[in-house]
Structure 1
Amino acid sequence: MSFTVAIVGRPNVGKSTLFNRLVGKKLALVDDTPGVTRDRRPGDAKLIDLRFRIIDTAGLEQSAPDTLQGRMWAQTEAAIDEADLSLFLVDAKGGLTPADETLAEMLRRRGKPVVLVANKSEARGSDGGFYDAFTLGLGEPCPISAEHGQGMLDLRDAIVAAIGEERAFPPEDDVAETDIDLSPTFKDEDGEEEVEAAYDETKPLRVAIVGRPNAGKSTLINRFLGEDRLLTGPEAGITRDSISVEWDWRGRTIKMFDTAGMRRKAKVQEKLEKLSVADALRAIRFAETVVIVFDATIPFEKQDLQIVDLVLREGRAAVLAFNKWDLVEDWQTVLADLREKTERLLPQARGIRAVPISGHTGYGLDRLMQAIIETDKTWNRRISTARLNRWLDSQQIQHPPPAVSGRRLKLKYMTQVKARPPGFMISCTRPDALPESYIRYLINGLRNDFDLPGVPIRMHFRSGDNPYESKAKKRR
């Protein structure tokens, strides 16, 4: 992107609404409650013919640095320092407040270009607030309506005038194009038998960090990045939006999503928390690998197990991270207990990778990243049809399918129909009569014989086509 823009202002003036308008998606949470946004959220914006990077920030609430509001404001200041231009939003409907004047003074001291934006200008009685904005000494305000999309052309012109045409329209935009085949298929030299696809070690990897509130998710990501990028603290439920950050690990791009803590459904009553949980669920669906963060001091709460089950039902690759390992004293005994409970309480994810870590000290983070990469390889694995059918024959010899109503079921043919997660189709007689116990036997056999630990496996059955069925219907 050619330049970076930060959206700043006091709480509830419409910063996140404008952010969503410019990025063209409802990425940031929007609610009438002041102070919804806490972390700074980046995005790629498009305004008419302008392309730039935009950052949504928390509203100005002056407080002591060690308070939550003080840490939120520190994040906003970091966004202003990072940006080339600031969009200073004021509420034309509600008028100016002392907080607006304080923020205007702070922006003047920064010495960077500022565009004064009078939001909610479509409302009745907004003229007074619009003209009052002139008293801030930041030039002529640009009247817009972020919710209804009014005044966007004027906003574009104001941004170009503030940043300069050369910066706004660089001669050559660096556009990175990626062409990633998510489920490639390969043929052997004869073009007959499908062979296993090679894993692409260079493709970007999307990782979501989920867990209960106050499990240490944001602290973990900050430790990966080596900076205080995300808002952290002793308070539970600080994170609300799902914030994405990018970094390189051994030459590979990792896009990691921090999510809001997920409490039990019965305890989620407030609208804002419901929006946060929905945002976390969306991050899980669009991720490739999901790291479920457990609090090692109180692991395997009921909600922890439900989150793991949710991730597996969504078909994502899952890794367990037992955080706060620096608080564990008898770590050998605790580790043995965690391994036993993992095998016993998560039978649907047999062999899932689990790593003890400490987001506070950085202990175990390299092993966690290695577990993420290995799990993603397993999640993307493809197995040739010939190998699957040889395996299916051997499984039926060792343990034949049961007989139903005096007739033994026959498994005729097997192939892998998809990866991410691995999905298999078996052609058999009477698929509706195949017992669940035999399906589990096949899935566990696949895990053991083809090294597929910890990832969800989809198994589909269908009956073979009967070439004489249509003729029998005609005779009737």
Structure 2
Amino acid sequence: MLPVVVIAGRPNVGKSTLFNRLAGRRIALVADTPGVTRDRKQAEAKLRGRDVTLIDTAGLEEAAPETLAGRMRAGSASAVEQADLVLFVIDARAGVTPADAHFAQWLRRQGKPVLLVANKAEGRVANSAILDSYALGLGDPVGVSAEHGEGVADLMAEIADRLPPEEEAAEADDEEADRPLKMAIVGRPNAGKSTLLNRLLGEERMITGPEPGLTRDAVSVTLTDAQGRAVEIVDTAGLRRRARVEEALEKMSVGSAIHALKMAEVVVLTLDAVQGIQDQDLQIARLVEREGRACVVALNKWDAVADRNATRKAIMERLEDSLAQMKGIPVVTLSALTGAGVDRLLPAVRAAHEVWNTRVPTGELNRWFEHALEAHQPPLVNGRRLKLRYVTQAKARPPTFVVFGTRAEQTPEDYTRYLVNGLRGTFKLPGTPIRLQLRGTKNPFAEN
């Protein structure tokens, strides 16, 4: 029997869109009209190496049992009874509604593990709703956009982590160890991405040549590293400036490359060391940071660089100045053509992946927080000092922290940077994106 993952929530929050996205194919009908799904839909899917049975349910509504809505709710309740994990979906654009709060309370009474999913979480407007959803008492929310695929890779990982262990613990351990690390090779055209993949594989898997743009589709291959662990590598089309992307085929290639980047755990940004770091390289790096992926910079064609010390210094300074959000990003110098230095790449990828997965114990985190507040107290905002009370880690992949306190949401950007830099330095989180969310707490004695 496969573990059962049930998708539940009120009507029109995007349950069927999420079901299709997790299943990897269009099974459930999707429309803007509430109540399109009436019967439960079921499909098998593989989420981060775990085979599961997905069940899409009708929207949860309060209704008399004999009505259509009542029968639909009964069917949803029956699905929840057999669930190993319930994905409770809310609409981040609409915020937490009374119906969401009601059904969250109902779900807690069912005694089933629940993972809170804030769908339609594209854009900044959704961030406040994601933070507000902590009030539902269902733990840390996972923000996704099922329609655009944003955050779905993180959701799959969270689902896999929360599923019950398989019958044989040894088999489960073996499966986790065997699950390949997902890595994408990205960069501008002609940076040597396909040559690098061929060198890693030890065979001419990809067509290479001096002409830029030979790779059109994102191509996935799996290799075993020196430690016997699997790595799934995706070679992608070169990413040019948007204004220069003209033909329909190239647009699809770029779209495929960006999708591969979003689905990866670690991104290897390949630079042409002879040309040095370009603005487009930095744009790609910012996209990696925005998507919350771990990143390793591969300085390719290192064998052709005349003044290596000056080149390395110039590139490192540009990275430090332009990518403050990924301070300490690991850099590997190599030549995909000759193979020099390529053996250092996968160990650097593994190290970046480990940092990206870091979880900091709550006690250590709050001891650091107390020292940080004493060393540099929170600033005054509108004549009143901010009172930041405690911090917790919401999730890893990338490390995400939530600071709670009175008017914490008004914390200035420079103080937020101070806290992020402190987290990065104290807990050894070089090069990985760090998310810091600030959530205000209500004063019960304040006048309404």
Q: Which category describes the TM-score, using the shorter chain as reference length?
A: 0.5 to 0.7
CA contact (8 A) 1:180 1:203 kept: no
The match for 1:377 among 331, 335, 354 is: 354
Pair 1:303–1:180, CA change in 2 (3 A): closer
Matched, 1:208 2:168: no
Q: Which residue of 2 aligns with 1:288?
A: 265
CA distance in structure 2 between the partners assigned to 1:461 and 1:24 by the alignment = 34
Q: Which residue of 2 aligns with 1:154?
A: none
Q: CA deviation at 1:439?
A: 0.2
Q: Which residue of 1 aligns with 2:410?
A: 433
The match for 1:247 among 223, 239, 242 is: 223
Which consecutive unaligned segments of at least 5 residues does structure 2 have?
1-22, 27-155, 163-175
- Say which one has the larger Rg: 1
Q: Which residue of 2 aligns with 1:332?
A: 309
1:273-318 per-position Cα deviation (integer Å, ceiling 9, x unaligned): 1100000010011000000000001121110110000111011001
Pair 1:337–1:396, CA change in 2 (3 A): same
Which consecutive unaligned segments of at least 5 residues does structure 1 have?
1-22, 27-178, 186-199
Q: CA deviation at 1:465?
A: 3.8
Pair 1:364–1:25, CA change in 2 (3 A): farther
Q: CA deviation at 1:466?
A: 3.6
SS of the residue 2:335 aligns to? coil
Q: Which amino acid aligns with 1:236?
A: P
324-333 or 293-302, which deviates more: 324-333
CA contact (8 A) 2:301 2:336 kept: yes
Q: Which residue of 1 aligns with 2:280?
A: 303
Q: Which residue of 1 aligns with 2:214?
A: 238
CA distance in structure 2 between the partners assigned to 1:220 and 1:436 by the alignment = 39
Q: Which amino acid aligns with 2:416?
A: I
SS of the residue 1:444 aligns to? helix
CA distance in structure 1 between the partners assigned to 2:207 and 2:319 by the alignment = 31
Q: Which residue of 1 aligns with 2:199?
A: 223
CA distance in structure 2 between the partners assigned to 1:350 and 1:454 by the alignment = 5
Matched, 1:445 2:386: no
Q: Which amino acid aligns with 1:364?
A: G
TM-score normalised by length of structure 2: 0.60
CA distance in structure 1 between the partners assigned to 2:179 and 2:369 by the alignment = 33
Q: CA deviation at 1:320?
A: 0.4
Percent sequence identity is 49
Matched, 1:390 2:364: no
CA distance in structure 1 between the partners assigned to 2:385 and 2:309 by the alignment = 49
CA distance in structure 2 between the partners assigned to 1:401 and 1:315 by the alignment = 27
CA distance in structure 1 between the partners assigned to 2:177 and 2:318 by the alignment = 33
Q: Which amino acid aligns with 1:312?
A: E
The match for 1:459 among 436, 441, 446 is: 436
Root mean square deviation of aligned Cα? 2.1
Matched, 1:356 2:333: yes
Pair 1:387–1:182, CA change in 2 (3 A): farther
Q: Which residue of 1 aligns with 2:115?
A: none
CA distance in structure 2 between the partners assigned to 1:305 and 1:366 by the alignment = 25
Pair 1:183–1:449, CA change in 2 (3 A): farther
Q: CA deviation at 1:339?
A: 2.3
SS of the residue 2:404 aligns to? strand
CA distance in structure 2 between the partners assigned to 1:204 and 1:322 by the alignment = 24
Q: CA deviation at 1:413?
A: 1.1
Q: CA deviation at 1:181?
A: 6.1
Q: CA deviation at 1:418?
A: 0.7
Q: Which amino acid aligns with 1:418?
A: K
The match for 1:402 among 353, 364, 379 is: 379
After TM superposition, the structure 1 = structure 2 runs for residues 5-154 of structure 1, keeping only pairs within 5 Å, are none
Q: CA deviation at 1:334?
A: 2.2
Pair 1:208–1:409, CA change in 2 (3 A): same
1:24-72 per-position Cα deviation (integer Å, ceiling 9, x unaligned): 869xxxxxxxxxxxxxxxxxxxxxxxxxxxxxxxxxxxxxxxxxxxxxx
Q: CA deviation at 1:183?
A: 8.0
CA distance in structure 1 between the partners assigned to 2:237 and 2:224 by the alignment = 24
CA contact (8 A) 2:266 2:295 kept: yes
Q: Which residue of 2 aligns with 1:77?
A: none
307-316 or 341-350, which deviates more: 341-350
